[in-house]
Amino acid sequence: MDQFRRIQTGKKGDIFLVLFKDKKILDDTMLDEIRTELAQLLGKASGPDVLLDFSQVEFMSSAMLGLLGQLHRKISSGQGRLKMCGIRPEIFQVFKLTNLDKLFSIHKDAPTALATFT
């Protein structure tokens, strides 16, 4: 099922699972590719439930946070739910500083996050 360069995908029931493959998500080209791949994956799904797994990501740019905000708005407007897991402490600090930890549903790992969808 995995036809993407930047993300590894799967499904658990109706939940889209997205694992970011890159250790560092920095430049605009990479962000554009991630944006395109997420759009292709979610396609016409109206209000999908999505779990983003950051367990392989060691660093990401503030532009990535912007992309996550856009994704959150898009999914929420369709009554879907966006959850995240595997965020390293140093990246989580940025989420806290920008109050994104209050906007996003963030969990320790995939099993914990998946359990909250029910």
**pLDDT average, residue stretch 106-112:** 97
Whether pLDDT at 24 is above 60: yes
pTM above 0.85, yes or no: yes
Tokens of 88: 């390293």
Distance from C-alpha of 14 to C-alpha of 17, rounded to nearest angstrom? 10
Whether the pLDDT of residue 64 is over 90: the answer is: yes
Give CATH for domain 7-115: 3.30.750.24
Q: How far, CA to CA in Å, does 73 sit from each of 6, 15, 55?
A: 22, 17, 23
The structure tokens listed for 29 are 């080209």
Closest CA to 106 of 92, 68, 90: 92
